Amino acid sequence: MTGFGSLLRSATAILALVSNVRAAPTLYASNFNDPSNTTNGHDSQLDKRAVAFDYNGQKVRGVNLGGWFVLEPWITPSIFEEWSTSQTVVDEYTYTKTLGKAEASSRLSSHWNTWITQDDFNAIAKAGLNHVRIPIGYWAVAPVDGDPYVQGQLDVLDQAINWARSAGLKVMLDLHGAPGSQNGFDNSGRLGPVEWQQGDSVSQTLTALENLSNRYKGATDVVTAIELLNEPLGSSLDLAGVQDFYSKGYQTVKAASSNFAVTFHDAFQDFSTYWTGFGSGDDDLMIDTHQYQIFSPAEVGRSPSEHVSTACALGPKLKSTNKWIVVGEWTGAQTDCAKWLNGLGKGARYDGTFPESSYTGTCDGKYTGTVNDLSSNDKDNIRSYVEAQLDAYEQHTGWFFWTWKTESAPEWHLKDLIAGGLFPQPLDSRQHPGQCN
């Protein structure tokens, strides 16, 4: 495929590139898959080892690196600000189509190389976390002819694997967007109709998984899990087809390396019942469920104590699930106030500016702002809610907070929530103990 194939074309060229990037050896694709490579302390038997994280005995404590390789307007509104009036650019598809490949490549390359750095990985580890979940679009690993998307992300992702290794973090690679869009959300790459499962889109998605897992099959000391697809919208899809895709995706990833755990999203079905019998007998299979309480009028209408009790109720349900299960996305937010969270130019349910919603409360300080500028009441509510979710989600495999950083959404910005004392440090400390007892 374009971009991917060129990286693998010449080992000599890649090694020359590595020497120019940094003095220390970097595990690019050729090094990942070369069993003779021992420059980073790896032996030739790497592919014979088991999954390099004990998902039975240790808790996943992770964070998503959102808005990095898959754009989301609410995470980085500055990237989309010039279209805030026309609203003609609302996702990565329209962004790249409008700018053209040359300009889009220039702008996105700058973004990829600055949004997340080694310093972020070090800070994540220092905070006591042990995993990062990295969203990536199909277009990075298996571009489809005619799409406007640009490539080059994998060079930076290769560096990120080394940053994670240096920081002592494990990585879940998450295929966040599929051809045709699996959910119609802007975070799939393309806002609009759900056209995944049409034409060749499923086979193209499997190709993307094959390329992704083959690329990193020699780095399973760090890349411990691959997620088959983020948030397929079950209500708009053939669920039998989703299950079939998951089965084939599992086989695809495991064919690259038995050392990958394979993660699948619950497709917004009940994780404790719908998926009970799925994948029976398959090793290293993990469910991903996303738990937000803000995307309906009823949810944003809950009181802070109701948000806490709803989170706590998930604990026993997670604990009873017969597979590894992570809450792969969750937040400190009890509102949907963050600028463009519901889409570029769209308002919020919480303050009644979103269609067919009514006023619950003000978005002052939460539409844009900083953690330090939140009201004392908001700060206490966020801390309480975060602690309840940690207590609930660690009743099984663990969690990934969404997201590490944003430009201006304080309820979602883990780096600043930690600095502001709204996220426990150490992670086991509690200002509101026993909420889920």
Q: Which residues are catalytic?
A: 231, 329
Peptide bond just before 232 cis, omega within 30 deg: no
Looking at 212-315, which runs of residues are DSSP E strands?
Answer: 223-227, 261-265, 285-290
Amino acid at 79: I
> Cα 417 from chain centroid?
18
> Other CB atoms closer than 10 Å to residue 299's CB: what's the count?
18
Structure tokens, 223? 């890349």
Bridge partners for 227 per DSSP: 174, 263
CA 203, CA 240: separation in Å to the nearest integer?
16
DSSP type of residue 264: E
Whether 292 contacts 267, CB under 8 Å: no
DSSP type of residue 351: B
Whether 200 contacts 159, CB under 8 Å: no
Amino acid at 24: A
Q: Which of 6, 8, 1 is nearest to 34 (CA)?
A: 8
CA 313, CA 394: separation in Å to the nearest integer?
13
Question: Phi/psi zone of residue 352: left (φ > 0), alpha (ψ -120 to 50 degrees), beta?
Answer: left
Q: Which of 422, 424, 380, 411 is nearest to 75 (CA)?
A: 411
Mapped onto helix, strand or coil, the DSSP state of residue 125 is helix
Residues 6 or more apart whose CB falls under 8 angstroms from that of 403 comprise 63, 64, 65, 66, 67, 75, 412, 413, 414
The dihedral of CA 53, 54, 56, 58: what is its sign?
Answer: negative
Burial of residue 289 (CB within 10 Å: 0-12, 13-18, 19+) is buried
Task: Tell me the CA distances in angstroms from 65 to 185, 330, 365, 406, one per residue in order.
Answer: 18, 13, 23, 10
Amino acid at 203: S
Mapped onto helix, strand or coil, the DSSP state of residue 301 is coil
